[in-house]
């Protein structure tokens, strides 16, 4: 598996993110030939995810080179904070000017929308936050991975691996993506059929109740974004 093209892929990381939104795609991207993957944040100080895992940024906003792919992961209340963080939104808008692909996983699409980068596009996000994404003028899809021109978005959390392989195929072709998939032995066979609200039965309502406060806060911020963007 060789390729002469050298791609620069940047994953935004930030305090209290959902680490698998970033580390799933990172595992795929770091396996690709000739690809340089950056973990990007405001500073080089370690970043702790919502579960306590520590991630080390490899470049700052100021030092980050122009990226071929920019990817934004999601994360609980941290997503809401990023949706209103002017420094983050400015960085994304600047990188998007020349990026080949502008992408997200889970509620990272809400952050892209807050930066004004998804209006007029179809996109995915975690199932609990689809109304929040729609509030910001995005055509919301229930697909696990959505490709709309140069926007690629993955659904909730574990969709990040499917998303990563989709990006790999877009950059290097299907055969390379399949090569990576087999290296990773990505052959999911979950023990329960509870991975979507349509199949989880009574668990769906339990999850909705547990996340009601977060969804309400995110929807309120989405409405603020819509007003700011004159949507």
Q: Cite the active site residues.
A: 106
The Cα 52–Cα 41 span in angstroms is: 17
In 3D space, the residue among 138, 180, 140 whose CA is nearest the CA of residue 162 turns out to be 180
Sequence length of the chain is 231
Q: Supply φ then ψ for residue 104, to 5 degrees.
A: -160, 165
Evaluated on CA atoms 44, 159, 176, 5, the torsion sign reads negative
In 3D space, the residue among 71, 84, 16 whose CA is nearest the CA of residue 222 turns out to be 84
């Amino acid at each position: 598996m060789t390729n002469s093209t050298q791609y620069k892929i940047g994953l935004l990381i930030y305090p209290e993110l959902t680490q698998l939104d970033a580390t799933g795609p990172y595992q795929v991207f770091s396996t690709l030939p000739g690809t340089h993957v950056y973990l990007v944040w405001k500073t080089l100080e370690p970043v702790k995810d919502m579960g306590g895992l520590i991630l080390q940024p490899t470049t700052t906003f100021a030092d980050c080179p122009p990226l071929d792919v920019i990817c934004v992961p999601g994360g609980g209340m941290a997503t809401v904070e990023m949706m209103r963080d002017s420094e983050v939104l400015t960085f994304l808008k600047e990188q998007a000017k020349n990026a080949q692909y502008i992408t997200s996983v889970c509620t990272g699409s809400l952050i892209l929308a807050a930066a004004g980068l998804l209006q007029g596009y179809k996109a995915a996000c975690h199932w609990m936050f689809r109304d929040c994404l729609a509030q910001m003028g995005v055509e919301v899809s229930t697909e696990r991975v959505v490709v709309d021109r140069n926007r690629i978005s993955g659904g909730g959390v574990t969709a990040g691996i499917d998303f990563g392989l989709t990006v790999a195929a877009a950059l290097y072709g299907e055969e390379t993506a399949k090569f990576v998939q087999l290296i990773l032995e990505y052959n999911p066979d979950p023990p329960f059929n509870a991975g979507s609200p349509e199949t989880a039965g009574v668990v769906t309502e339990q999850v909705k109740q547990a996340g009601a406060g977060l969804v309400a806060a995110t929807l309120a911020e989405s409405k603020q974004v819509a007003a700011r963007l004159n949507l």
